[in-house]
Amino acid sequence: MATEENSATPSLPWRVASTVTLSLVGVISKTFLTFATKKEVYGLDGFVELLDRRRDVSERERGLLTVSNHLSVVDDPVIWGLLPLRHFSPQTIRWSLGSHDICFTGSAVTTFFSLGQVLPTHRKLHSPYGGLFQPTITQCIRLLSRGPFTTPTPPHPLWPSKRHSEQHNDISDPFTDPTYTYSTTGTDVFRAPSSDARNRYSWLHIFPEGKVHQRLDRNMRYFKWGVARLILEADACPEVVPMWIEGFDSIMHEARPAPRWFPRLGRKVSITFGEPVSETVWAGFRERWKRLKAREKMDNAALGVLNNELMTGKESAELRMEVTKEVREQVLKLRRRRGWADEDPKAGVWSTYLEEGGKYYEGQMEDGSWIKDT
């Protein structure tokens, strides 16, 4: 961990461009929700109060992690159109994850998503650099922590032992100091937001299903284990707020006819914010993780740095599985609150989706649901 004096602050042009980008996206999202949808919102006041308490970065003591089901490619950022515009600033709005091969394909696209506080992630089915141990997940853990961090971000376990000597930048305002950057492939370079003291105990939003999942009965897919790393490894347990959304699949359904790029107007949507999950729910899990690290003599390792046993060992895997199951249960509570019957227990089990076979990537599944790999 670095001192605040060593914090890596982006240049003034970058900060201005990021603020403008976030504000513009916020205005568009707010306008769309207000005039182009029939919206129902539950629990928003409590969530806004939580964000208001976090506006002073120096007063934060924990990160904020929001999790929800995933219905369409416009879920994020449209759902944040509910928030007051004062929260569309780099220090208060969420960080999120975007597919490297979709959102980071060239200088203009990469710059836009970087300015919008989207981090590049590799999808395991599309890239050997995917999975829960990719460097971006370490950045997420550090963003949820005290910071600033200037210790190197661990490489992906599958990278060659010696990194490429020549790297290229994918962002227009890079830091040349390697302690303020990280790579997702060993050849690309991105600014490490956790090296900026203004990003301490940030807000991160994720869709743990990892895919758009459109189903009439609103059953969710299984949750991926990366969410467990965020809860277990952040230096202070983050505040976890579950969310439940409905209707966004009717705005951008995967079976929609042309023009596919145009969102459908006048559709009914609902967004439900849960209360922060009690820290006691996660305390036992985090204590078990602490003991595992102590046993492996990794207590003093840089945040996000793991040895092989902590990555792939049986106890570590079982612990992540339990935490992920609990996160999913917290979202299911909101699903029940919105009047849905209990889902089929098999819906949350990874092996269920092996039946998708060759259609595992995206499209219409044999059960009638639609999948979009995002």
pLDDT, mean of residues 239-260: 94
Q: 167 pLDDT exceeds 80?
A: no
User: Where residue 106 falls among pLDDT bands split at 50, 70, 90?
Assistant: confident
**pLDDT given at position 353:** 67
**pLDDT given at position 6:** 59
Q: 360 pLDDT exceeds 60?
A: no
Q: Does residue 227 fall inside a structural domain?
A: yes
Q: Does residue 332 fall inside a structural domain?
A: no
Q: Does residue 136 fall inside a structural domain?
A: yes
The number of distinct structural domains making up the chain is: 1
Phi, psi of 273 (to 5 degrees): -100, 125
CB 106 within 8 A of CB 58: no
Residue 216 domain boundaries:
10-158+166-249+260-281
What is the rounded distance in angstroms from the CA atom of residue 81 to the CA atom of residue 143?
23
Q: Does residue 356 fall inside a structural domain?
A: no
Q: Does residue 352 fall inside a structural domain?
A: no
Range in 5-19, 149-163, 214-228 the model is least confident about: 149-163
Percent of the chain residues topping a pLDDT of 90 = 71
Q: Does residue 115 fall inside a structural domain?
A: yes
Lookup: tokens for 335 = 């699903």
Helix (H, G, I), strand (E, B) or coil at 75: helix
Q: Does residue 239 fall inside a structural domain?
A: yes
**pLDDT given at position 187:** 84
* Beta partners for residue 40, in sequence order: 270
Range in 1-15, 241-255, 309-323 the model is least confident about: 1-15
Q: 161 pLDDT exceeds 80?
A: no
By 3-state DSSP, what share of the chain in percent is helix, strand and coil, each rounded to 5? Answer: 40, 15, 45
pLDDT digits 0-9 by tens, 264-276: 999 999 999 999 9
CATH number at residue 223: 3.40.1130
Lookup: tokens for 61 = 């003591």
Average model confidence (pLDDT) across the chain: 89
**pLDDT given at position 325:** 96
Q: Nearest-CA neighbor of 60 among 235, 201, 197?
A: 201
pLDDT, mean of residues 115-140: 93
Of the ranges 149-163, 168-182, 297-311, 345-359, the best mean pLDDT one: 297-311
Q: Does residue 290 fall inside a structural domain?
A: no
